[in-house]
Amino acid sequence: MYEVGMYGGSFNPLHLGHVNDIIIAKNECKKLYIPVSISDDPKEIDGRTRVMWLKNITKDMENVEVFPIYSNNIDKESYNWQKGVEDVKEYIKTKIDIVFAGSDYKGENLWENLYKESKVIYFDREEINISSTEIRQNPYKYFDYLPACVKKYYTKKVCIIGTESCGKTILVRNLAKAYNTTHVEEAGRYICDEAGGIDNMQKYHYFEILFQHKQDEKNALEHANKVLFIDTDSLITLYYYKLGFKEQSEKDFETIATSISNLNNYDLYLFLEPDVAWVQDGTRTYGIDEVRKENNKILKEILKENHIKYETITGNYEERYEKAKEYVNNLLKGEKLCLKDKI
Beta bridge partners of 270: 160, 311
Q: Say whether both 30 and 108 belong to one domain.
A: yes
Tell me which of 208 and 165 has the higher pLDDT.
208
CATH of the domain at 101: 3.40.50.620
186 in the same domain as 328 = yes
| 173 located within any domain | yes
Within this chain, do residues 174 and 244 fall inside the same structural domain, yes or no?
yes
d(CA 2, CA 32): 9
Asked if the model's pLDDT at residue 97 lies above 70, the reply is yes
Report the C-alpha gap between 107 and 328 in whole angstroms: 44
The overall average pLDDT reported for the chain is 89
Range 51-67 average pLDDT: 97
Instruction: Give the per-residue pLDDT at 288.
Output: 57
| pLDDT (0 to 100) of residue 338 | 53
Nearest to 331 by CA among 256, 249, 263, 270: 270
Final residue in a domain of this structure, among 113, 140, 167: 140
Given a cut of 60, whether residue 278 has pLDDT beyond it is: no
134 and 47 housed in the same domain: yes
The partner residues of 101 in beta bridges, in order of sequence, read 122
Asked whether residue 65 falls in the same domain as residue 159, the answer is no
Rounded Cα gap, residues 82 and 199, in angstroms: 69
Does 318 map to a domain?
yes
Contact between 69 and 90 (Cβ < 8 Å): no
Taking 80 as the threshold, does the pLDDT of residue 176 lie above it? yes
Helices and strands (H and E) in the chain: how many: 13, 12
pTM, rounded to two decimals: 0.86
242 Cβ contact partners less than 8 Å away, ≥ 6 residues apart = 249, 298, 302
- Note the pLDDT tens digit of each residue in 100-143: 998 887 878 889 999 999 999 999 888 898 999 999 999 999 99
Please report whether residue 293 resides in a domain: yes
Q: What is the pLDDT of residues 178-210, one digit of tens each?
A: 999 999 999 988 898 898 887 888 889 999 999
Note whether 182 and 233 are same-domain residues.
yes
**pLDDT tens, residue by residue, 232-247:** 999 989 988 888 887 6
- Name the β-bridge partners of 69: 37
Residue 142's CB is within 10 A of a number of other CB atoms, namely: 18
131 domain-assigned:
yes
Average pLDDT of span 272-285: 63
Element of type H or E holding 138: none
How far is it, in rounded angstroms, from Cα 319 to Cα 9?
48
User: What pLDDT is attached to residue 74?
Assistant: 64
Number of domains forming the structure of the chain? 2
Could you give the CA distance from residue 84 to residue 37 in angstroms, rounded to a whole number? 8
Amino acid residing at 329? N
In a domain, 145, yes or no: no
Q: Collect all residues with Cβ–Cβ distance below 8 Å to 7 and sequence separation of at least 6.
A: 21, 22, 25, 32, 33, 34, 99, 100, 101
Q: Which of 107, 140, 173 is the last residue of a domain?
A: 140
Query: Domain limits at 225?
Result: 155-340
- pLDDT above 90 for 261: yes
- Residue 295 falls inside a structural domain: yes
Domain match, 256 and 336 both? yes
CB 99 within 8 A of CB 121: yes
CA distance 51 to 26: 17
Q: What are phi and psi of 230, to 5 degrees?
A: -125, 125
One domain, residues 184 and 320: yes
Q: Could you tell me if 227 and 155 are in contact, meaning their C-beta atoms sit under 8 angstroms apart? A: yes
In terms of domains, do 107 and 186 share one? no
Peptide bond into 13 cis (omega under 30): yes
